Amino acid sequence: MIAGAHGPQQNPSLATARRLDEVLIGDLSWYQGKVLPDYGGDEVSRAVDLADLPTLADVIDRFASRYPGCDRRTVASLWSQLYFAFVVPPVIASQLVPGPVINSSLDAMGLRLADDGAPVGLACTLAAITPVAKGQGNEIAGFVCGHLAIMVRAISGVTDLAPKLLWQNAAGYLAWAVGAVAGDPCRSREAALHLAADVLADGTRNPIRSFVTLRSEDRKLFPKRRICCLRSGLPGRSSCADCPARRPLATVLAPRPLAETTPQPDAPIAPLSS
């Protein structure tokens, strides 16, 4: 507590953290306490620094120490899933649920890393939390094109992973997050429409369009896996239940029956339990 003219005042960082937790409810409650409005120490790496290729290569090499002898691209794909798992749902929730908005630009966010480079939390400064009008596609477009696109290029640049595979990894978390937010259903449906469109609200081509399916009757968004994420190549990791490597090509490319397009909680959650 901070002493003020009218008695004790709450630490502004703690107060903002509690406001962020109010956004991260329901299926997103796991993130409470893991999204903090400060950089808080040397263990936090700014996202803009992680986009620097030598820095990112070092982080992924450290993470690869978990899986000695494994293909570096396979390890990097899992690292990207962890990155997207910590960044995407909190940002999307803050854009759709009444409360503070996380500034998604790379220079306004940081990632808390374990000693081996594994993402373990998200950090942002107070200046990164801005009260803006919500429910507009421009915020989503800015996040996809101004943050995720940069990280996809960076991860691909240091690992030779195909950008399409990385966009598919990101798309799974985007689709899950839109369905998991406990805000206004109209805003969730609007977000789903933006993410399923060929072109984003700012006029740029939508890089995740091929990796999501919009169910027409209720406008719910689901991930559509077209490329194996490679995680089954790591010890203790099984392939996804709907892995395209286990299906004939015709079924990978064909629209999935509604019974098979139910959300897969293991898609966004499994990397977090490693």
Could you tell me which of 220, 219, 196 has the C-alpha nearest to residue 208?
A: 196
Interval 235-273: pLDDT, tens: 556 556 555 544 443 333 333 333 333 333 334 443 344
The overall longest dimension of the chain from CA atoms, in Å, is 70
Interval 72-114: pLDDT, tens: 888 899 999 899 999 999 999 888 887 778 888 888 888 889 8
Token pair for 174: 């985007």
Torsions phi, psi of 4, nearest 5? -130, 180
Please identify which residue in the block is written with the tokens 């203790």: 236
The dihedral through the CA atoms of 242, 34, 94, 83 has a sign that is: negative
Share above pLDDT 70 across residues of the chain, in percent, rounded to a whole number: 69
Amino acid at 120: V
pLDDT band at 216 (very low <50, low <70, confident <90, very high): confident
HSE-CB of 141 using CA atoms within 13 angstroms: 17
CB 257 within 8 A of CB 161: no
Confidence (pTM): 0.81
Interval 127-172: pLDDT, tens: 445 545 555 688 899 999 999 999 999 999 999 899 999 999 999 9
Residue 56, pLDDT above cutoff 60: yes
270 CB burial (10 A radius; 0-12, 13-18, 19+): middle
